[in-house]
Amino acid sequence: MESNAGTLATRSNKTALEREEVAALESLQFTDEIHCLMSAPATDNASSFTALLELPAPQAVQLIHSPDSAKLIAAPAPNVEDFKGGFHFPSNGGLIERAARFSVFAGEGNNKSDSPEATSNNSSANLQKAVKSEPAETDSSQPLISDPTVENRGIKRKDPEKVKGQTKKSKTTVKESSDDTEKLPYVHVRARRGQATDSHSLAERARREKINARMKLLQELVPGCNKISGTALVLDEIINHVQSLQRQVEFLSMRLAAVNPRVDFNFDSVFTAESGFFMDSNFSGMVMPMMWPEIQLSATCLGERRSLQ
C-alpha cells in the first residue's frame, strides 16, 4: 500500500481533490484495483465533468455548489464542501460518487464500510473509467482548478505522504476546513470544520473518541447504564457495579465456606448451561438469614448480613 501511495504521490500535478479521493479510496483498501487501473492510462477527455455528473446517479448529494452540478449522493450536507465551486473533474462522476460516499461518515463509522462495499460492484465500471482518466487529466489540464478555495487546499496539502491513506481513524471526511491540514507526515486524522488541527488536539481527539467507544461498550455491559447521559454519571454507575460484583463474590464465597462439607457435587450438572451446582448441603451449624431471591444485594444488606454472622 505504501508503494501504491508512492506512485500516486509522484504525480505531483494532482489536484487536491484527486489526492483526497485517492486517499479516501485507498484507505478503504481498493488499492489493488486503483493500482492496476492507474497503470493503464486511458483518456476519456471528451466529456466534461458536468456532463458526466449528470449520469444517472442513485443518490444525490450536493457535491458541488455550482449551479450546474448534479447531485450525486445523499449525505449530510456539509460533508462535501470541497467540491465547491466550479470544479471540473472530467469523467469522474463515478469516482466522485464513490469518494464522496466513502468520505461521508459523520459518525457512521461502520455504515461507511458497508455502503462502499455495496456500491463498489456497481460503480466499479465507473471507477475504471474515472480513474483511468485521472492521470490523463492531471497531465493535460491543470488549469481546470480555478476555484480559489480548492487552490488553497492544494497549497496546504502539499505533502505526498498525505496520500498514504492509512488514516488513523477510519474517518476520512472530505470536508472543507478553513483551518485544515495536517502538515505532519504521519498524522492522518482529518480535521473537521472549525476544529483545531495541531498535532496535540488531533491526538487528543483521537484519544477521546477511543475513550468514548469504550464507554459505550461499558454502558452495554452494565445494566441500566443506557439511559444515563453524561460520562461522569456513567462512570459512577460502573464503579457501583464493580463494587457490588466484588461484594457479591465475597459474600457467595463466604456462603460457600459456611456450607457443611458433607456435600456431593454433581459435576456434570455444573456444566450444563444454567444449572450450576447441586449440593446436598446441610446448614446445621450456620445461621445465615438467607433470602435467596435477594442475590442482587445492596451494600448495606451485605454489611448487615456479615455483622450478623
Can you give the binding site for other proteins, defined by CB under 8 A? 204, 207-208, 210-211, 214-215, 217-218, 221-222, 231-232, 235-236, 238-239, 241-243, 245-246, 248-250, 252-261, 265, 267-268, 270-273, 275-281, 283-286, 290, 292, 295, 309
Q: Which is nearer to other proteins, 195 or 243 (CB)?
A: 243
Q: Which is nearer to other proteins, 46 or 217 (CB)?
A: 217
Residues 284 and 166: their CA atoms lie apart, in Å, by 67
CA 249 to chain centre: 37
Q: Which is nearer to other proteins, 3 or 272 (CB)?
A: 272
Q: Which is nearer to other proteins, 9 or 278 (CB)?
A: 278
Helix axes 109-140, 93-103, angle to 10 degrees: 140
Residues 271 and 266: their CA atoms lie apart, in Å, by 9
- HSE-CB for 299 with a 13 A CA cutoff: 7
* Least CB distance to other proteins at residue 22 (A): 32
* Least CB distance to other proteins at residue 55 (A): 45
* Least CB distance to other proteins at residue 109 (A): 17
* Least CB distance to other proteins at residue 204 (A): 6
* Least CB distance to other proteins at residue 202 (A): 13
- Integer angstrom CA distances of residue 125 from 22, 33, 304: 16, 11, 73
* Least CB distance to other proteins at residue 298 (A): 15
- Integer angstrom CA distances of residue 223 from 76, 135, 218, 220, 297: 33, 55, 9, 7, 15
Helix axes 31-38, 2-10, angle to 10 degrees: 40
**Alpha helices, DSSP H only, in 141-266?**
148-156, 199-221, 231-258
Residues 205 and 200: their CA atoms lie apart, in Å, by 8
* Least CB distance to other proteins at residue 214 (A): 4
The SS3 call for residue 62 is strand
**Alpha helices, DSSP H only, in 259-279?**
267-271
